[in-house]
Structure 1
Amino acid sequence: MSKGRLALILSAVVLVVVLALLPKVIINKDKKGTFAADGTAAPVAQQDHDPNHEGHEDHAEEAPAAMPGNPQEAHAAATPAQLKELAELRTKYNGESNNLAKAQLATQLGEKFAKISKYDSAGYFYEQAALARPGEKSYQKAADQYFEAFSFAATQERSQALGLKARELYEKVLKNNPSNLDAKTNTAMTYIASDNPMKGVTLLREVIATDPKNEKALFNLGVLSMQSNQYDKAVERFRELTMVNPSHIDGNFYLGVSLAETKQKAEAQKAFARVKELSKDPEVLASVDSYLQKMNSAQ
């Protein structure tokens, strides 16, 4: 949805759409390319969160002022009422000695931090709840939040640390349920941002082998093909994706880009026209128009 950041070697126009449409998975932070983990656009508020603070998982034993989820560090979009609620919950959490009650408070804190896009804090507290009551669903809640934080990490170091944390938790999910393809796909994306990217590609292919219609895996394999300039393979992936889900905006857009890059102008125009049918977002439409203009001027 992109992370230590896998750059799409496209035009500046494509990069605009990448930022507008696909802020989920950051593969190479140094190059600012992004792609979506699930092909959906993220709320604008999520992009405002600055995750460049120390990982919350390291602070469980620290003094209250430095504890994970300090409300004063919360997302800028948090209201005074939300900050007050977080402070009260944290006070209860810090003072609770009953493990079950503490886990319940941790779950509440996870929910509250997730609502203000403070994903690493949410992941930390969901993880505490999962440690008290282990299971596939509880571990996935924590893993998904760390994955979101990984997706928005602003430095490669931060991306790798959060990706590792998400991966460790997803591995616990998969230990409970090896057929959880969503966990497997997200695990793959954390590997792609690591020093072992081929492990991620292998996992994505395993997902496709199990579920040939898996939208998330098809989308990410398509973007990976674009990143490596294998646009013919990207066309195949995005065609498959748009056959599975004809209304997949990002899939149709990147199908158009890949077709344009393989000199299939007429088909590319059809794909871009489909994007215009599906989306009324002014930024998306402007990006499509800009790419069409670029494509036509290249004649």
Structure 2
Amino acid sequence: MKRTQILIVVVAIVLVGVIFFLPKVVVNDEDKSDLANSENATAVPEGHSEDDGHNHGAESGATADAHMSATPEQLMELATARAKYNKTSDEQARNRVAAELAEAYANATKYDSAGYYYEIAAKARGGERSYKKAGDAYYEAFTFAATQERASELGAKARGMYEQVLKNNPTDLDAKTNIAMTYIATSNPMQGITLLREVIASDPNNQKALFNLGILSIQSNQYDKAVERFQKLVAVNPDHVEGTFYLAVSLAETGQKQEAKALFTKVKGMSNDPALASSVDEYLAKLN
């Protein structure tokens, strides 16, 4: 993902995007149970806005809110690109314009539609980079999904694109990590955890994999393990705001109050996000 989000409510951690749908899995080798609802993947992604000419489903919840962030200039760019696409009749030219339309949708934060058109362009062009763009767009839409069903659908689309990436470049750990996280929202979450471990085995300092494994440990109430993951993460990247925040949360949950207080205070100086500052204040009030 190109951006990070921290959404917290009083007394509970509401995890970003995909984390909202995570099953209560125990992140260890012994636990092999399937704990999420069955995946219901469809061939066409939901969530396109009504003006994109596809009517694949109504937008709602977090996705709709994200799409509302588009500026008038971005919406104008989108309208222009869509008109150009609709007027193009030559198939090869239309496929090229599909990439332009996808970029316009991505700029307007309409990631599901961006994925749809990036996929059209990727299937016409082939190549690792084209499929990576489609996968990244679908993955962004996946993280904004407002229901588990929608997360499963968009996650399946992202996986399909990333699998094409890995066929061309098996060492793309970013694609592999994102595939792993889409599996967490399916009936086989352990497959995702296994993939994350494979990423760590290849790159012990991989920040995205460390972060996600830490989040999974929090989700399964394994705060000791979460402390280990986030400590490693902030050792690799001391400026990782989310990692520092969740390390503080994990320390607080394991009874290490003084260490947690120090880190919560540090987090306030690392970010100007008012929502994050408010959440930190809530935790500090509880720890005092």
State the percentage of identical aligned residues: 59
Corresponding residue number in structure 2 for 1:45: none
Give the structure 2 partner of residue 25 of structure 1: 18
Task: Pick from 235, 238, 243 the counterpart of residue 235 of structure 2.
Answer: 243
One-letter code aligned to 1:195: S
- When normalised by structure 2's length, the TM-score is 0.79
Counterparts of 1:23-102 in structure 2 under 5 Å?
Answer: 23-28=16-21, 57=45, 66-67=53-54, 75-78=67-70, 82-102=74-94
Aligned match for 2:120, one of 128, 148, 155: 128
Q: What are the within-5 Å matches in structure 2 for residues 1-299 of structure 1?
A: 12-15=10-13, 18=14, 23-28=16-21, 57=45, 66-67=53-54, 75-78=67-70, 82-296=74-288
Residue 57 of structure 1 and its aligned partner are, at CA, apart by 4.9
**2:269 is paired with a residue of what secondary structure?**
helix
SS of residue matched to 1:154: coil
- Measured against aligned partners, the alpha-carbon deviations of 1:87-143 in whole angstroms (never above 9, x if no partner) come to 443333234233331122111101110111111110011111101100111001001
Letter in 2 for 1:134: G
| C-alpha contact (below 8 Å) 2:115/2:138 kept by paired residues | yes
| CA positional deviation for 1:280 | 2.8
Check whether the contact 2:114–2:134 (CA below 8 A) recurs between aligned residues.
Answer: yes
1:282–1:94 distance in 2 versus 1, CA, 3 Å: closer
Give the number of the structure with larger relative contact order, counting CA–CA contacts within 8 Å between residues 6 or more apart. Answer: 2
In structure 2, distance between residues paired with 1:65 and 1:222: 38
Contact 1:142 1:169 (8 Å CA) reproduced = yes
Cα separation, partners in 2 of 1:212 and 1:124, compared to 1, 3 Å: same
Q: 1:118-177: per-residue Cα shift (whole Å, max 9, x none)?
A: 111100111111011001110010010001111111111111111111111111111111
Residue 286 of structure 1 and its aligned partner are, at CA, apart by 2.0
Structure 2 SS opposite 1:247: coil
Q: Is the 8 A contact 2:52 2:82 kept in 1?
A: no
Structure 1 gaps of 5+ residues are: 2-7, 32-53
CA contact (8 A) 1:57 1:68 kept: no
CA apart distance, 1:69: 9.4
- Cα-Cα RMSD: 3.0
C-alpha separation in 1, matches of 2:262 and 2:158: 39
For structure 2, the 5+ residue unaligned runs are 2-6, 25-41
Aligned residues: 256
- Equivalent residues of 1:77, 1:116 under 8 A apart: yes
Instruction: Output the TM-score relative to the length of structure 1.
Output: 0.77
> Is the 1:68–1:121 Cα contact (8 Å) retained in structure 2?
no
Deviates more, 1:113-122 or 1:75-84: 75-84
